[in-house]
A and B are shown apart, each in its own frame.
Chain A
Amino acid sequence: MNIAVCVSHVPDTATKIKIGDDNKTINKAGVTYIINPYDEFAVEEALTWKEKAGGDSKITILSVGGDSNKETIRKALAMGADDGILLKDDNPRDSMGIAKALSKEIKSHKFDVVFCGKQSVDYDAGAVPQMLAEFLDYSCATVVVALKMDGNKIIAEREVEGGREVVELELPAVIGAQKGLNEPRYASLKGIMSAKKKTIEEKPAAQAENLSEIIKMYSPPAKQSGRILGTDASAVPELVRLLREEAKVI
């Protein structure tokens, strides 16, 4: 089985984001980057599929971006993937630009399945898996929390508003991983040591125009400090009144 996993390189989720002077980008000073957390579920799923399929199954990691994305590819290799491809572009791309570059590369291989995170926690658009499936003409399920192989078919459970949906897909397919799909393994020291012997091929990302442009970024208004109305049951009526009339949440 030939498996691809698409990964993005994002600011650590614990980062306190500061907006850059241009009001369009974030200030990258002091920010550490990590593999997109949803992509870790994708890598883990690929690894379990490979372990189940056995034989000469192979996992290729793909990422679109600058040189530093290699750190994230390397991390996936340390978890156990086989090789990586960096589709290089130092300029920011929107979801469309990323999906186009990935699909162009994926078409030149024969992947049975492509795993992605359901969204990338930097821009949170949550669009790449679906766009990718469209460009590749693959079936697609995203926000997937459980997955089963059944011959040439996949049974995927998707999280939907208020419940779950079970879908059946044909291979080849694009799967967008949601938290809960599995428990990603830690890389191991041996994995890290062997990752340095694995290859990361670099090639320019296929040209693609961005179809959207960030015109402004701004921080949410600062949270107001809380108010203590009382410490016993006598505060409840006032609390209910404020929740209804001021906060308008009930």
Chain B
Amino acid sequence: MNNFNGVDYFNIRSLLSEEELMIRDLVREFVSEEVIPIIEEYNREGKFPLHLVPKIAEIGLLGSTLPSKYGGAEMNNVAYGLVMQELERGDSGIRSFVSVQSGLVMYPIYSFGSDEQKEKWLPQLAKGERVGCFGLTEPDYGSNPGGMVTKVEKVDGGYKLNGAKMWITNGTIADVAVVWAKLKGVVKGFLVEKGMKGFSAPEMKGKHSLRASVTSELVFEDVFVPEENLLPKTEGLKNPLMCLNQARYGIAWGVVGSMMACYDAALNYAKSRVQFSKPIAAYQMTQEKLVYMLTEITKAQLLNIQLGRMKDNGTLKHTHVSLAKRNNCEKALDIARVAREILGANGILDEYPVMRHSANLESVKTYEGTHEMHTLIIGEDITGFAAFD
């Protein structure tokens, strides 16, 4: 049973293949049955529903675009996007978990790792037996990660790692961290494993957003990282940026899930809430709000389909991803706020998903490149002038 039928005003399903639709519906059903019933409680407690990880792995959502020999499903990017969309309809925290594990951990190990690293980590990560995290951001370097101060020094048999990362999704629950650090000024990737001496990952508390997701600091004090844990094909900042491009792509799709959840809640509420003896849906101003939401959802859906098809046929530029991430996050947040207005006081309660999405989207708009940074990236592309370095 699926009591959520999606939002599809422009018959966008006709642009999807039979498998893409089946994948979307599978994840939609999974979210309706496994995520929606429990998520408010986890969000309230500020806990990540770790028990969902084996289930998420069993249906194959971790590293799903990778080859089957590493546990992937060899899915195309449109299907991957639909998975993100449906997961985020449940909660941005659940989508973040899958984004990080797939796009920021499995992807770099697959793309920049040695055969031994791939064989060791990918199947376990795909099965959800191991959790990964991605450490790029530092307390003093967010939008300009190139300035990072975390560094390694070559020592006998490996490297000595020092520094700290902040805002790291999954950090505390991770068995392996993909950590970006400078070796003689050049950014390189390392696999830092839980339990390595000098490595700790305390959880960050007090979040008003992404409460059902673990966010942590990573602290490295003279951590010895053996040679075989260096990702051999990393050679600069472009490598972590390639990872971010994967994750941003997923976010562009994901937030459409939040938009649909908020729109669905607002539409149903507006039809049943009676004020001045009419449903509030019968008032022009409410209709304008609902139509605004539906229009932005439809535009974002069409943007995503083309984004995905370009990724699949190899014509996608990172600036395209920036445009979609930037637009869709902003519109999702606008929609969440307008939905909250329609719900009146009820909008602030966790009986409805709206405020949770709204709060989550503040993070989503910020991570993987803020709205402003994506503006500057596209701005440079179209004008030829870089407004940042």
Interface residues of A (CB under 8 A from B): 12-14, 32, 34, 37, 71, 74-75, 78, 185-193, 195-196
Contacts and interface: CB of A to CB of B under 8 A. Distances in A.
A189 B59 contact: yes
Interface residues of B, number: 23
16 contacts: A14-B3, A32-B2, A34-B2, A37-B1, A74-B18, A74-B22, A185-B58, A187-B26, A188-B58, A188-B59, A188-B60, A189-B60, A189-B64, A190-B60, A192-B26, A193-B75
Nearest to A188: B60
A91 B68 CA distance: 42
Interface in B2-43: 2-3, 5, 18-19, 22-23, 26, 29-30
Given A14-B2, A32-B2, A196 B18 contact: yes
Nearest to A196: B19
A195 B23 CA distance: 12
Contact of B30 (A12, A32, A71, A186): A186
Interface string B88-125: 00000000000000000000000000000000000000
Interface in B41-94: 55, 58-61, 64, 68, 73-75, 79, 83
Contacts of B1: 12-14, 34, 37
Contacts of B30: 186
Contacts of A32: 2, 5
A192 B2 contact: no
Contacts of A75: 22
Given A12-B1, A12-B2, 10 more contacts: A14-B1, A32-B2, A78-B22, A186-B26, A186-B30, A189-B73, A189-B75, A191-B60, A195-B19, A196-B18
Contacts of B64: 189
A70 B329 CA distance: 37
Contacts of B61: 189
Contacts of A12: 1-2, 5
A99 to B, nearest CB: 26
Most buried by A among B5, B19, B22, B58: B22
B208 to A, nearest CB: 33
Contacts of A74: 18, 22
A14 B60 CA distance: 26
B26 A193 contact: no
Nearest to A121: B1
Contacts of A193: 19, 73-75
Nearest to B32: A14
Contact of B73 (A34, A37, A190): A190
